[in-house]
Structure 1
């Protein structure tokens, strides 16, 4: 990437291309696709989201044992969450798109090669995470296909209710398996995007916060400048910080409620999958299929908590940078402005889910502990039913 022309939104291009494909980001009305996009979106979402959701949900309601209930719940609940996330993206799309203009404005505020390198590193980190999650999802779907191929009896990738008898003949099973697998692959595309786009935005905001911290830490150490000029530079940095804070609040509004539901969903999925793997009678390929699903669901929440914690850390670095600039040799008015920035920097950049739950690695550990507690409870229920 050309260091002289850094574009943060480059890391978001793939996300919004996929959002367009899955029906939540309409193109311009002047194009043929744009004029018919509403119909396209309805067909895509009814076929690949609502139908498969009904299939998972009916299968869950038909569960006749704790083991089958756990196996069904661990796919029905995450899919419900992904549908809610998709609705949320459609609802907040305008605000997310407006944040791109803010990111480009912050790109233009970069002052030196070191700051540009920080942003480029953030873009590369976001793209690396996207590619890694893509490979993980491809592996998960591949394991599911292998599981269907080697199964001793007709089976589908995940427990699903099908409204026709698809086990009677090879042709019926083959057509059903192909339809089911196609729907799962379409959902996997949406899952890839819904898992990674929050982390990409958070990484970009973190990178710009880090670049601002570098600018602030250099204040007063260069060639001597008039007091008025130094004050003007600091005012510009204060404005940059205000822009970052507004961008942070915008992301919090966009992600808050779905992140709260994600924590609950992850704990339930971890609990039910572990119960099914530990106490269910499963073969090696079925075991691997559910194990990969467990890793995928856990990684999604881990990524969210990691990137949110990264942003919080860079906010603390900005506070340190305010202290480390050469404020001793500056004017009284400069110091007053610096105190104003210092007061604002003391509010930590902690994303909050559902108003009360901070998104951090500590919360991720709480989710895992909650899953273990629920697993213990399910085990006690299993023991009491055997007695």
Structure 2
């Protein structure tokens, strides 16, 4: 007797994103009663934070007098600017998110074997969940360390803003002015952190889910025809169902590329530039232990935002490459002529390389990640020579 399969939903891993999108003004409610008030909330939030936060940092960067302030402001300026660009890019492609949800729901229904269900949990659902917790830990760690460094520095007699920036009132000579400016920066960076979280976690988590479903497809394809109790017509129908799932997986990959193309391109460039700038700032301008700790955390956090996406991009690519071997692992020799024709066509299609391209230039894989680190080091050496 075959044990019953507990229904599993891959969409559960994206619950955090749906809730966060709602609170950052990107996903309106389905009820029309609250929709217009939500639009007003979204407009105000995005003008004040998504547009206003990087703008006040950019003006502060332009007005900075010292090199230390320039390097200090440049890192957070580029980070917030990249976050705003990624926020707009993903908002523009939210329809693709719903398309991904529909594909995952459809593929989940084809998980009928207990072993497949367990494999799905291990290679897709749990990996995506761990990825979310990992990036959440890094992002909140960087934010908390920045706030702690600012507060401790203030109690030691040096009350400064978290980041040098422009405000239309005197921040240094007014207690209320400083409190308002500090509160705005604290709230603004928190909103940007959560925007960045969904920007940086959704594409790699979607890639993890895609890689998991491709692994399951490989297992299902390799299993076709080995059960002697199943007739040829049934085996051919099972094989054709795998072909249909393969088409859905290709659409899955295209949807991910449309979502993350611009944002990932910007993230790779900003990460490389910021790493070089932070290293220069650490060596020449940091004068406090807490600021030093913050920028060390910041330096580690930046490449870690890119690494999961590149890692699961490579995993997805390798899983697709295994599909050809899975096709010829099935018991195709004992099948009908129609089955063998379908197999040849499917095998030919499976030879095509499946990768995600960022900005039409960078392949989202580990090769690009290491190239980013090399570019950051090259930029650092260039700045050192210019200095």
Give the superposition deviation at 1:158.
2.4
- 2:340 is aligned, of 335, 340, 351, to 335
Inter-partner Cα distance in structure 1 for 2:347 and 2:67: 55
Inter-partner Cα distance in structure 1 for 2:232 and 2:361: 44
Q: 2:201 matched to which residue of 1? A: 196
Inter-partner Cα distance in structure 1 for 2:133 and 2:273: 27
Alignment of structure 1 residues 6-85 onto 2, 5 Å: 6-32=8-34, 34-85=35-86
Alignment of structure 1 residues 71-110 onto 2, 5 Å: 71-110=72-111
- 2:265 is aligned, of 237, 255, 260, to 260
Give the superposition deviation at 1:68.
3.0
Pair 1:359-2:349 in alignment = no
Alignment of structure 1 residues 202-351 onto 2, 5 Å: 202-351=207-356
SS of 1:324's equivalent? coil
Q: 2:168 matched to which residue of 1? A: 163
Contact 1:316 1:348 in 2 (8 A): yes
Q: 1:111 matched to which residue of 2? A: 112
The count of corresponding residues between Structure 1 and Structure 2 is: 380
SS of 2:332's equivalent? coil
- 1:5 is aligned, of 4, 7, 13, to 7
Inter-partner Cα distance in structure 1 for 2:25 and 2:100: 20
Structure 1 stretches of 4+ with a deviation exceeding 4 A read none
Range 123-132 or range 300-309, more displaced = 123-132
TM-score by length of 1: 0.94
Give the superposition deviation at 1:155.
1.0
Inter-partner Cα distance in structure 2 for 1:153 and 1:111: 63
Give the superposition deviation at 1:66.
4.2
Inter-partner Cα distance in structure 2 for 1:371 and 1:66: 20
Pair 1:184-2:184 in alignment = no
Give the superposition deviation at 1:3.
4.6
Q: 1:135 matched to which residue of 2? A: 137
CA deviation string 1:213-237 (max 9, x = no partner):
1101111211243322222211111
Contact 1:29 1:35 in 2 (8 A): no
Q: 1:385 matched to which residue of 2? A: none
Give the superposition deviation at 1:342.
1.0
Inter-partner Cα distance in structure 1 for 2:12 and 2:237: 31
Give the superposition deviation at 1:305.
0.5
Contact 2:169 2:177 in 1 (8 A): no
TM-score by length of 2: 0.94
SS of 1:74's equivalent? helix
- 1:144 is aligned, of 127, 146, 149, to 146
Inter-partner Cα distance in structure 1 for 2:72 and 2:285: 9
CA deviation string 1:133-166 (max 9, x = no partner):
2222222121111111111311122232222211
CA-atom RMSD, angstroms?
1.7
Inter-partner Cα distance in structure 2 for 1:139 and 1:356: 32
Give the superposition deviation at 1:19.
0.7
Gaps of 5+ in 1: 383-387
Give the superposition deviation at 1:125.
1.6
CA deviation string 1:100-127 (max 9, x = no partner):
1111111111131121122222112211
Inter-partner Cα distance in structure 1 for 2:177 and 2:37: 33
Contact 2:321 2:353 in 1 (8 A): yes
Contact 1:308 1:360 in 2 (8 A): yes
Inter-partner Cα distance in structure 2 for 1:163 and 1:306: 44
Inter-partner Cα distance in structure 1 for 2:101 and 2:184: 37
Contact 1:260 1:353 in 2 (8 A): yes
Give the superposition deviation at 1:354.
1.7
Inter-partner Cα distance in structure 2 for 1:319 and 1:81: 39
Contact 2:61 2:73 in 1 (8 A): yes
Contact 1:319 1:345 in 2 (8 A): yes
Contact 2:225 2:331 in 1 (8 A): yes
Gaps of 5+ in 2: none
